[in-house]
A = this chain, B = another copy of it.
C-alpha cells in the first residue's frame, strides 16, 4: 500500500550508522578510551571562533523579523553574489550570482540535481567507490544508477567510462576529494574526462551534465585547492557544503553552482529550483545564510586532519596494511587482508577497532577509516592495528 522505495529507504540501516551504534554501546560497556571508533565522518574540530561570534552579533543587532524571516528560495541575493565572487577569485570558476542556488547542505543540492535533471529511466553514472546516498538520490528520481569501477590508485577508470557512455546516460556524478577514499581527482583525469564527455555529447546530441560533489574541497593536505571541474567542462554543476570546512554539518547549509558556460544554464537552474520546491525546500536556514556570508573564505583549523592522516597512514603501512594514500577529505581507504571486508571489519572489532567495510561504497575488499578523531585516539589505536595485522600474518 505504501510506496515500496520510501519504505525501503526508511528502513534500511546504513552500515556506518550500525557500526557507530555498536561503538556507542561498546564504549558504555568498557569505557570510551578503550574503543577506537573510526566509523563516522563528523568533524572533530570546532567551527572557527568567528562563526559563533558572527551568529551572536547577528542575534544582537539584526531585527528579528528580518533575521529569522523567509529569504528567496535560492538564498539571499547578497550571499549568492558573495559566493560567485569567491568562486571566481579563489577557483577562477566561471560562475555568476544567478547560477548560485543556496541549499540545505550538499545532500539537498544533490537530491535536487537528481530530481531536477533526470527523467525517469535515464542513467546517472558515478565512479566506485562512492558515497552510498548517491544511489538513493538517483533511484529516488526514478533514474538508473550506473557505476564505473576505478582504475589504479582509485582515479576514475576513463576507458571504462568511455565504454559505458551509451545514449541513456544523461548525468555523471563525481566526488572530489572522495568519500570514502580521500582521493582527489587530478587535473589530468578531469581534462581527459571532459574530453570524453564532450565527445559523447556530440555523438548523442544531448548535454551530459557533470555534477561534482565537493564538500571536502578545502580538506586537501599536499598543495593548494584541488583542480576544479568548472574550469574543465562547460556542462558542469558544483555542489558544495560548509559542513566540513566550517564544521557545521548539522546546520545544513551549502550551495549549487551552475557554470556560466552551460548552454542551457537558465533551464537547468529552473529545473533545480523546481525540484527543490517540490521537495518542500522553502529556503536555506536564514540565520546561517547571513553567518556564512560573513565567514566566506574561513575554515576551521584543518591542520589536525593533516597530522592525523600522516600519523595513521604511516602507522598502518608500517604495520603491514596496504592503504590508498589520501590527498584529501578525512577518510583513509585500507585494503582488507582477506577478500571479505565485512569479515575483516568483524575481526577488527575483537581489537576494539571500528572500521566500515567498503561494500556500501560500491567496492569490495576495503575498509574506510574516518580520521576526524583525536590524535591521541590514533596513537592509542596503533598497537591494536599492529595486533590485527599480526593476526593475519602481515
Interface residues on A, range: 35 or more
How close is A6's CB to chain B, nearest CB, in angstroms? 4
Contact B252 A105 (CB under 8 A): no
Q: Mark A94-133, 1 if CB is under 8 A from B, else 0.
A: 0000000000110111111001111100000000000001
Residues in B whose Cβ lies below 8 Å from that of A248: 68
Choose, from A161-169, A221-229, A269-277, A361-369, the stretch at the interface. A269-277
Q: How far is the CB of A289 from chain B (nearest CB, A)?
A: 8
Stretch at the interface among A56-64, A151-159, A317-325: A56-64
Taking the complex as formed, is A279 at the interface, i.e. its CB lies under 8 A from any CB of chain B? yes
Question: Is the beta-carbon distance between B280 and A109 smaller than 8 angstroms?
Answer: yes
CB neighbours (8 Å) of A275 from chain B are 3, 6, 9-10
Known: A46-B63, A68-B47. A118 touches B55 (CB 8 A): no
Contact of A274 among B7, B46, B51, B65 (CB under 8 A): B7
Per-residue contact bits, chain A 246-274, to B (CB 8 Å; 1 contact, 0 not): 01111110000000000010011111111
Q: Is the CB of A52 within 8 A of B70?
A: no
B3 near A271 with CB under 8 A, answer yes
Query: Which residues of chain B are within 8 angstroms of A140 by Cβ–Cβ distance?
Result: 278-279
With CB as the reference atom, state the residue of chain B lying closest to A12.
B274
| A251 touching B287 in the complex, CB below 8 Å, given contacts A5-B278, A279-B111 | yes
B60 A45 Cβ-Cβ under 8 A: no
Interface residue SS majority, chain A: helix
Q: Does A43 contact B (CB under 8 A)?
A: yes
Interface residue? A195 (CB, 8 A): no
Q: Of B10, B64, B271, B286, which contacts A7 at CB under 8 A?
A: B271
A272 touches B104 (CB 8 A): no
Q: Which residues of A from 4 to 26 have beta carbons under 8 Å from B?
A: 5-11
Contact B56 A44 (CB under 8 A): no
Q: CB-CB < 8 A to A71: which residues of B?
A: 250
When each residue 30-54 of chain A gets 1 if its CB lies under 8 Å from chain B and 0 otherwise, what string results?
0000000000001111110001100
**A68 touching B250 by the CB < 8 A rule?**
yes
Question: Does the CB pair A65–B52 fall under 8 Å?
Answer: no
Does A283 make an interface contact (CB < 8 A)? yes
The residue from B7, B108, B170, B277 contacting A267, defined by CB atoms under 8 A apart: B7
Would you call B278 and A136 a contact (CB within 8 A)? yes
* B60-A43 in contact (CB<8A): no
* A282 at the B interface (CB under 8 A): yes
**Nearest-CB residue, chain B, relative to A285:** B285
A117 lies within 8 A of B2 (CB): yes
Whether B5 pairs with A274 at a CB distance below 8 angstroms is yes
Chain B, Cβ-Cβ closest to A104: B104
The answer to the question of A69 belonging to the interface, with a C-beta cut-off of 8 Å to chain B, is yes
Would you give 28 A-B contacts (Cβ < 8 Å), ordered by A?
A: A2-B116, A2-B267, A2-B268, A2-B271, A3-B115, A3-B119, A3-B271, A5-B278, A6-B115, A6-B271, A9-B273, A10-B270, A44-B65, A45-B65, A46-B65, A47-B64, A51-B68, A52-B60, A68-B247, A70-B249, A70-B250, A111-B278, A136-B278, A137-B280, A249-B282, A250-B283, A252-B284, A279-B280
Known: A2-B271, A10-B269. 6 other contacts (CB 8 A): A1-B119, A6-B271, A47-B64, A67-B250, A109-B280, A140-B278
The 3 closest A-B pairs by CB, nearest first: A250-B286, A111-B280, A10-B274
